[in-house]
Chain A
């Protein structure tokens, strides 16, 4: 079945630094990928939609200059949290649509970011 690999699974960074999270579709080409954020004991909130070769579409309230999304190839999307602050600590999870599965969404295993 469709597999999405997300890396790293956990990362701790210092306040003010940037962190890059990678999301790869391993056995299919993902023209569209989604990035979600989940705070502890809360739901998943869609942050942005990235389309291969074009700019990402951000949800209302999400700072595009802080959360940089790049979808340069059909198998890789990256989320960079720039100038991270402790309030950015969260669980970030990506998802890709597999055209071969209709509207099936495949999720990565998530990245737990802790900013100290």
Chain B
């Protein structure tokens, strides 16, 4: 069975600091998808990134970057020069693809990120 572990329950940093959110996953499938979502207090899930298991290229999008390492089953997320608006709960999630179709998502417990002004 698949599992996603976000060991950091809560992180608090001062604005403009860099912060990395860790995500470790477990799956028996060779084909799978990894995701990061942001959940502000309103509750709505904001999609940040999707990565398939065959693409280990790291990705950068503005102040956000992701480091995918299959060797350690990790998919970490870094925010550079954090801002107060980045404060939210961040979820890492995994979807296994069976028979060409993807299943529902397995979420980690989430990391509550607090950016202090």
Q: Which residues of A contact B (CB under 8 A)?
A: 32, 34, 36, 38, 42-46, 49, 91, 93, 95, 97, 103-107, 109-110, 112
Contact = CB atoms under 8 A, between A and B. Distances in A.
23 contacts: A32-B101, A34-B105, A36-B105, A38-B43, A42-B109, A43-B107, A43-B110, A44-B107, A49-B103, A95-B104, A95-B105, A103-B95, A103-B102, A104-B47, A104-B50, A105-B95, A105-B105, A106-B47, A107-B37, A109-B43, A109-B44, A110-B44, A112-B43
* B interface bracket (residues with beta carbon within 8 Å of A): 20 to 34
Interface string B33-61: 10101000011110100101000000000
Contacts, number: 52
Contacts of B35: 105
B3 to A, nearest CB: 12
Contacts of A105: 35, 47, 95, 105
The SS class assigned to the B binding surface is: strand
Nearest to B32: A103
User: Which of A38, A43, A93, A95 neighbours the largest number of chain B CB atoms within 10 Å of its CB?
Assistant: A43
A97 B102 CA distance: 9
Contacts of A106: 47
